[in-house]
Amino acid sequence: MKNEKKTKIVVTNAENVKPQYSNYLSISHTPNEFILSFCYIDPAKMKRGEEQEVPAEAFSRIVVTPSLLPQIIKALQTNLEKYNTSIKKEMDRIKEKKERIN
């Protein structure tokens, strides 16, 4: 077996890309690609308890191959688990601090 070297991919220029807030994601697909449309819905335009059509302003569409989608899902799951663990630790710390005060 050959001594294979792993390729490390380094994301560049990420700090120069302006972050955008999205509160809605629309996903569609064709036989060859998945299309992720990141959108913003203005909460002020939504009326509770009423049937309505609310515009979701798309500001970015990312097109990926079906073979990349499992990697995206895995990365999202991993990061969500890390986030939940971090939040749980912080909530436990706050709860413990409150209990000491009382």
For the segment 30-37, the average pLDDT, to the nearest whole number, is 97
What are the structural domain ranges in the chain?
20-66, 67-102
How far apart CA 13 and CA 49 sit, in angstroms, is 44
For the segment 52-72, the average pLDDT, to the nearest whole number, is 94
Does the pLDDT of residue 5 top 90, yes or no? Answer: no
Do 20 and 59 contact (CB within 8 A), yes or no? yes
- First-to-final CA distance of the chain: 64
What does pTM read for this prediction? 0.72
φ, ψ (nearest 5 deg) of residue 60: -155, 135
Which pLDDT score is estimated for 2?
Answer: 67
Tell me the pLDDT of the chain averaged across its residues: 91
pLDDT in tens, 67-101: 999 999 999 999 999 999 999 888 888 888 877 88
